[in-house]
A and B are shown apart, each in its own frame.
Chain A
Amino acid sequence: MAGRAATTSVLNNSKFRAILYQLIMASLLIYLGWSIAENTIANMEARDIRAGFGFLDETAGFSIMMSLVPYEPGDTYGRVFLVGLLNTLLVAGIGVVFATMVGFLVGIMRLSQNWVVSRLATIYVEIFRNVPLLLQILFWYTAVLKPLPGPRQVFERNTEIYFGISNRGITVPEFIFLENFSFTTWTALLGILFTIGIHRWAKQRQATTGEQFPVFFAGLGLTIGLPILVFLLSGAPVEFTPAKMGRFNLAGGITIIPEFLAVLLSLVLYTASFIAEIVRAGIQAVNYGQTEASRALGLRNGTTLKLVIIPQALRIIIPPMTSQYLNLTKNTSLAAAIAYPDLVATFAGTALNQNGQALETLAITMTVYLSLSLLTSALMNWFNSRVKLVER
């Protein structure tokens, strides 16, 4: 045996070969990285491009049409980054919520017994899924929202506007919360806490005695009904200041810019068509025997759906849903095409063109999206591990 081992070439030893391959791979990578670094430094010197992150403290000098935090043209590039990031997060956050709602609705509609309902849902899904998102954004912006008449044609002078649509976007009154509003906030928070408590208690009681408790309606009353009551009792402490049409322009109020509306609308409709398919596939993947079994137990249709089908379908739905949320977040970057001031349009667009530090700017932008992706998938993995099947 010892003789055999000696005659075998060392090249046929799998451990040796693994080390060899990896050495080759590693040296290739190091060479690639080194040559890229060297070329980049040489090229940047030749083209007189600065390096480093010092530009973040310099004055940006351009204005941004929408920002959630105070911003002036005199602020720094670092501030521009913050404004862009917040705008991206705003549209992504609202988009995820609405896309989920529309997607679930359409997905369930596709499974409806009613021919008209399921057919309409199918048409919706097929159209919105098969048309590029960028095209949808451009369509809503250039063909629908921008050609709307301007405020001077829509609103009469010196009128107060409670709800109006023009090519400036949607105009609504500004809300100012007075001091007494804190009662409502505290009631709502307490209501949420109580609902969680009741939910736990009801679950335990059902497990021990089998009796059910209407948690949903109790929760609805505690989290929405009670705060409304407190709100009215404390004297409705909210002030509306509607927008006013001046001589040429709108003053006051809140105007939701058409860029935001176009991006949100297209992201929601596009992503919802994918979510609808995921929901449909997830519900259909639950074995029909489960429905039959729960009917045999005498459960009603709604109860079957709630207690038997959805909990099992969720396990199938959640992983692909995660990637849809990620896609939506990344797709907010298409907003740059219509100059919605998101991270890409402001920071990797206008700011990059001004300071010319493409490498640093794009590295920061990509890192932001990467961390957003990792964060979302970590959250969804945590949620997934909570609902997944416990196998023995």
Chain B
Amino acid sequence: MSNPRSVFFVRKEFISARQAPASTIGVLGWIRNNLFSTPFNSLLTVALGGLGVWLIWGALDWLIFNAVWAGGNEACKVNPEGACWTFISTRFDQFVYGFYEKPERWRVDLILLVLFTGIFWSGWERAPARKWVGGFMLIPFPLIAWVVLYGGIFGLPVVETSQWGGFTLTLVVSLIGIIVSLPLGILLALGRRSKMPIIHSTCLFFIEFWRGVPLITVLFMAAYVLPLFFPAGLNFDQLLRALIGFALFAAAYMAEVVRGGLQSLNKGQYEAADSLGLSYWKSMRLIILPQALKAVIPGIVNTFIGLFKDTTLVLIIGLLDLLGMVHAAIADPNWSIRSVPTTGYAFVAITFFIFCYGMSRYSRFVEEKLNTGHKR
């Protein structure tokens, strides 16, 4: 029996979807989900957020809003509660060129211009002739740069390396370290993986020795002991000795990075190269190294960043790089003002931060481009 009283209702059309609750979407929802999801989380947000705002505001206030931008040391004495940028601008030339003779400074400018153009050119993916520029920057450029900076030919007067300093010296030390360490590191890594016991153990010992000692002792060694190793009469200047120590130190670290890349390759790649009848060097050059180096680009860039930061250590053996120059300038009694040391160090810190952070972002970018694995 059907029930006459029952009414059947069948909806003919769909109800349109309702908006999600206002508290779960948009800015408000994001704030609620991310910042105030639990009482503990809210407490964290308020406490750390307050701390962060206080720190960042304090830093900006000190660095920018309350800073002294012009007017020499008198202006800084009047206002010691802000950064003393006029100290930097007064001495800026010294911080960049060191004691490089004034009329010859165009040579430094020229080299810096070529250097940064070359780096951006070879780093930018769609640039034409990228590989050629990269190759030029790796091998001929350092030699040309050394000749131009040192002088002595083409009518350029000689500028002794003891006059080099400031940011120029930082770049010279780091670039020589980087450029020498890469090929030497590759050779050492190959040697360490070699099956010939004498070559293997020599490379192993070399790598572990340099990695086991601090850079300072290496630089001390280069400064005090290295001259004893050469026959009497053969004398290198201080900078060149430091460069030798720094480059060997850098090569050992690079070797370990490259070895990581060599180990990550499938054994089949080696066997395939052998079965094609390639000689050892051919198989390395054509098959193994291109893949191995590509795999460790982030590691290589990280080593570069570490080396770049480590160049500051040359100040301990008396070479005045950027940090050394600033550190020496701070001691000037005319500038003995409370805000000057912090300003000087902040200036160096910002310079290094820009370069290191830039390099690390670039390596992250390359890493993501080469990453073909699955990501969540």
Q: Does B213 sit at the interface, judged by CB under 8 A? A: yes
- Which stretch of A173-181, A251-259, A333-341 is in the interface? A333-341
Interface 0/1 of A335-378, CB less than 8 Å to B = 01100000010001000100000110010011001100110000
For the complex, give the distance between the alpha carbons of A359 and B305 in Å. 31
Nearest-neighbor residue (CB-CB) of A37 within chain B: B229
A302 shortest CB reach to chain B, Å: 12
Contacts of A142-191 to chain B: CB distance below 8 A: 142-144, 147
Given contacts A344-B216, A344-B217, A130 and B341 within 8 Å (CB-CB): no
Collect the chain B residues with CB atoms within 8 Å of residue A22's CB: 196-199
Q: Does A36 sit at the interface, judged by CB under 8 A? A: yes
Given contacts A29-B202, A344-B216, A374-B212, A132 and B352 within 8 Å (CB-CB): yes
Q: Does B232 sit at the interface, judged by CB under 8 A? A: yes
- Which stretch of B7-15, B132-140, B306-314 is in the interface? B306-314
B192 shortest CB reach to chain A, Å: 13
Nearest-neighbor residue (CB-CB) of A109 within chain B: B48
Contacts of B179-200 to chain A: CB distance below 8 A: 195-199
Q: Are B217 and A116 touching (Cβ within 8 A)?
A: no
Nearest-neighbor residue (CB-CB) of A270 within chain B: B309
Collect the chain B residues with CB atoms within 8 Å of residue A127's CB: 353
Given contacts A114-B35, A117-B44, A334-B216, A134 and B196 within 8 Å (CB-CB): no
- Which stretch of A39-47, A215-223, A228-236, A304-312 is in the interface? A39-47
Collect the chain A residues with CB atoms within 8 Å of residue B353's CB: 127, 130-131
Q: Does B342 sit at the interface, judged by CB under 8 A? A: yes
Q: Does B360 sit at the interface, judged by CB under 8 A? A: yes
Nearest-neighbor residue (CB-CB) of A146 within chain B: B341
Q: Are A39 and B228 touching (Cβ within 8 A)?
A: yes
Q: Does A97 sit at the interface, judged by CB under 8 A? A: no
For the complex, give the distance between the alpha carbons of A147 and B357 in Å. 30
Q: Are B216 and A26 touching (Cβ within 8 A)?
A: no
Given contacts A25-B199, A132-B312, A362-B224, A147 and B338 within 8 Å (CB-CB): yes
Q: Are B196 and A337 touching (Cβ within 8 A)?
A: no
Q: Does A18 sit at the interface, judged by CB under 8 A? A: yes
Given contacts A131-B352, A330-B213, A44 and B315 within 8 Å (CB-CB): no
Q: Interface of chain A, helix or strand or loop or mixed? A: helix
Contacts of B31-59 to chain A: CB distance below 8 A: 33-35, 37, 41, 44-45, 48-49, 51-52
Q: Does B220 sit at the interface, judged by CB under 8 A? A: yes
Nearest-neighbor residue (CB-CB) of A377 within chain B: B212
Q: Which of A25, A135, A147, A365 has the most CB of B within 10 A?
A: A135
For the complex, give the distance between the alpha carbons of A25 and B191 in Å. 11
For the complex, give the distance between the alpha carbons of A286 and B229 in Å. 51
Q: Are A42 and B35 touching (Cβ within 8 A)?
A: no
B345 shortest CB reach to chain A, Å: 4
Q: Does A133 sit at the interface, judged by CB under 8 A? A: yes
Q: Does A113 sit at the interface, judged by CB under 8 A? A: yes
Collect the chain A residues with CB atoms within 8 Å of residue B240's CB: none
Nearest-neighbor residue (CB-CB) of A28 within chain B: B202
A299 shortest CB reach to chain B, Å: 19
Interface 0/1 of A36-76, CB less than 8 Å to B = 10011011101000000000000000000000000000000
Collect the chain B residues with CB atoms within 8 Å of residue A147's CB: 338, 341
Q: Are B48 and A142 touching (Cβ within 8 A)?
A: no
Q: Does A248 sit at the interface, judged by CB under 8 A? A: no
Q: Are B342 and A131 touching (Cβ within 8 A)?
A: no
Q: Are B323 and A135 touching (Cβ within 8 A)?
A: yes
B235 shortest CB reach to chain A, Å: 11
Given contacts A21-B199, A135-B345, A39 and B231 within 8 Å (CB-CB): yes
Q: Are B224 and A126 touching (Cβ within 8 A)?
A: no
Q: Does B327 sit at the interface, judged by CB under 8 A? A: yes
Collect the chain A residues with CB atoms within 8 Å of residue B199's CB: 21-22, 25
Q: Are B232 and A46 touching (Cβ within 8 A)?
A: yes
Q: Does A288 sit at the interface, judged by CB under 8 A? A: yes
Contacts of A1-38 to chain B: CB distance below 8 A: 18, 21-22, 25-26, 29, 36
Q: Are A39 and B225 touching (Cβ within 8 A)?
A: no
Q: Which of A26, A116, A126, A138 has the most CB of B within 10 A?
A: A116
Given contacts A114-B44, A126-B357, A333-B217, A39 and B224 within 8 Å (CB-CB): no
Q: Does A139 sit at the interface, judged by CB under 8 A? A: yes
Q: Are A43 and B342 touching (Cβ within 8 A)?
A: no
Q: Are B348 and A135 touching (Cβ within 8 A)?
A: yes
Contacts of B323-369 to chain A: CB distance below 8 A: 323, 327, 330, 338, 341-342, 345, 348-349, 352-353, 356-357, 360
Interface 0/1 of B49-77, CB less than 8 Å to A = 10110000000000000000000000000
Residue pairs across A and B with Cβ atoms less than 8 A apart, 20 shown, are A39-B229, A39-B231, A40-B228, A46-B232, A114-B35, A116-B44, A117-B44, A120-B51, A130-B357, A131-B353, A135-B352, A139-B345, A143-B342, A143-B345, A348-B220, A352-B224, A359-B225, A359-B228, A362-B225, A366-B217
Residues of B within 8 A of A (CB): 33-35, 37, 41, 44-45, 48-49, 51-52, 195-199, 202, 209, 211-217, 220-221, 224-225, 227-232, 305, 309-310, 312-313, 315-316, 323, 327, 330, 338, 341-342, 345, 348-349, 352-353, 356-357, 360, 376
Q: Which 3 A-B pairs have the closest CB atoms?
A: A358-B224, A130-B356, A333-B214
